Amino acid sequence: MATKGILLEQLTWVQAQAALSRESVVVVPIGAAAKEHGPHLRLNNDWTIAEYLKRRVVEVANVVVAPTIAYHYYPAFVEYPGSISLRLETARDLVIDIARSLAAFGPRRFYALNTGVSTVLALRSAAQALATEGVLLRYTDIQTIAADAVASVEDQDGGTHADEIETSIMLYIAPGAVDMKKAARDYQRGEGPLTRTQGKGGIYSPTGIYGDATLANCAKGQRVVEAMVVGILRDIASLRSEALSQ
């Protein structure tokens, strides 16, 4: 199927030279390839979402899409086997280095197609650093990008991770990666990272779920995902219209 956008990884350097200009918008997807998502979702859950959203964007938007970043800043999940988190500074510098590398050939507008929450801390710092060099970095706020759609379908009392909404998203985009027989309700109020040790501090979660995954279904996921796509495309259009400082 013909697309409007370009996947950078599929180009030669000669083709990349032609694709990268001062007016180009470069999309940098970010999705954890190794982060716990309860007993019912796989460690590469966020990577799967990022790859899906990347495909949707490249189909309709005139952008250059960089390879997906599989590692970033996820400190809230490191107690669960298989979960990998970079240090905040490492995650920040990773994005800065990617943008700087490509900005050397023209682009000044970058959009992090972000599927995480804690990642925003590193992305905010990266954006501030790049702004001093005349490079714009904007990013998805996953908690607000489809807030109205989430509110219209959500039945759980609360949750933000491997919950009703995230599980519904996966049932829509990759149902084979979901084991609903192992979905659970695991929601205890608190602050801080998730922990497998009761009384340790943070949010005790023996499953790694924060919310009620048993309430998930494909129809809810479709509503949320389609709203996410619209929101991301709106973000990219807004970035494209921003004036460059130098």
Q: Binning pLDDT at 50, 70 and 90, where does residue 2 land?
A: low
203-204 vs 194-195, strand pairing mode: parallel
Residue 97 lies in a domain: yes
* Tokens matching residue 25: 């918008």
Taking residues 102-106, what's their average pLDDT? 98
Closest CA to 209 of 182, 231, 169: 182
- Asked if residues 80 and 32 have their Cβ atoms less than 8 Å apart, the reply is no
CA 152 to chain CA centroid, nearest Å: 21
Residue 246 lies in a domain: no
* Tokens matching residue 213: 């995954």
pLDDT tens figures, 46-82: 999 999 999 999 999 999 999 999 999 999 999 999 9
Q: What distance in Å separates the CA atoms of residue 137 and residue 123, rounded to the nearest whole number? A: 8
pLDDT tens figures, 182-207: 999 998 888 889 999 988 889 999 99
Q: What distance in Å separates the CA atoms of residue 215 and residue 3, rounded to the nearest whole number? A: 35
Q: Give the pLDDT of residue 82.
A: 98
What value does the mean pLDDT of the chain take?
96
* Tokens matching residue 179: 């084991």
pLDDT tens figures, 161-173: 999 999 999 999 9
* Tokens matching residue 89: 């500074």
Number of domains in the chain: 1
* Tokens matching residue 169: 């998203």
The helix/strand/coil state of 128 is: helix
Q: Give the pLDDT of residue 76.
A: 96
Residue 244 lies in a domain: no
Reported pTM: 0.96
Percent share of the chain, pLDDT over 90 = 93
The helix/strand/coil state of 10 is: helix
Residue 127 lies in a domain: yes
Q: Which domain holds residue 23?
A: 6-239
In the predicted model, is pLDDT for residue 3 greater than 80? no
Question: CATH number, domain at 151?
Answer: 3.40.50.10310
